[in-house]
Amino acid sequence: MPKTVAELLASHCRPLEGSAALTDDAVAAQLGVLPAWARDGRRIHRRYAFADYWETVAFVNAIAWVIHREDHHPELVVGYDRVDARFDTHSVGGLSENDFICAAKCDALYAARPQASA
């Protein structure tokens, strides 16, 4: 059974050396809890959109702090008004719970960001 968003947010990444990647069914179930994310082979990915470069970089800095604390680092592609985030777990050769924990934490930061005033 997949973890809820609240459970993912309360969780912390852990070392997984020697563990197996999540099954396709487990990945699909967990993606149901994080619908903005999609599977791309051995990774999950999401694009975050922003009004400008300042918001984009502020988000990257915010997630960098959280992700460093979790010690589970994504591939980030940063553009003027977007961030493409991709997670996978190299030590298991695919996806792990750590990927979903970090994805949920990135989503929470995105949802909590200050909205640009018009």
**CATH class held by domain 5-112:** alpha beta
Q: Give per-residue pLDDT as tens, 38-74.
A: 999 999 999 999 999 999 999 999 999 999 999 999 9
Model pTM score: 0.93
The alpha carbons of the chain give a radius of gyration, in whole angstroms, of 14
Question: 109: number of CA atoms within 13 Å, CB side?
Answer: 20
pLDDT at residue number 18: 82
pLDDT at residue number 101: 98
Residue 47's nearest CA partner among 78, 79, 84 is: 84
Taking the CA atoms of residue 47, residue 51, residue 52 and residue 53 in that order, the dihedral angle to the nearest 10 degrees is -30
pLDDT at residue number 115: 76
Inter-helix orientation angle 53-70/97-112, to 10°: 140
Q: Give per-residue pLDDT as tens, 2-37.
A: 999 999 999 999 998 889 999 999 999 999 999 999
* Residues 6+ away with beta carbon under 8 Å from 83: 47, 48, 50, 56, 59, 60, 76, 77
For residue 44 the two structure tokens come to 């999950």
Burial group, residue 57, by CB count within 10 angstroms (0-12, 13-18, 19+): middle
Q: Is the pLDDT assigned to residue 117 strictly greater than 80?
A: no
3-state helix, strand, coil in the chain (%, to 5): 45, 20, 35
pLDDT at residue number 105: 98
pLDDT at residue number 116: 53
Stronger pLDDT, 31 or 113, i.e. the higher one: 31
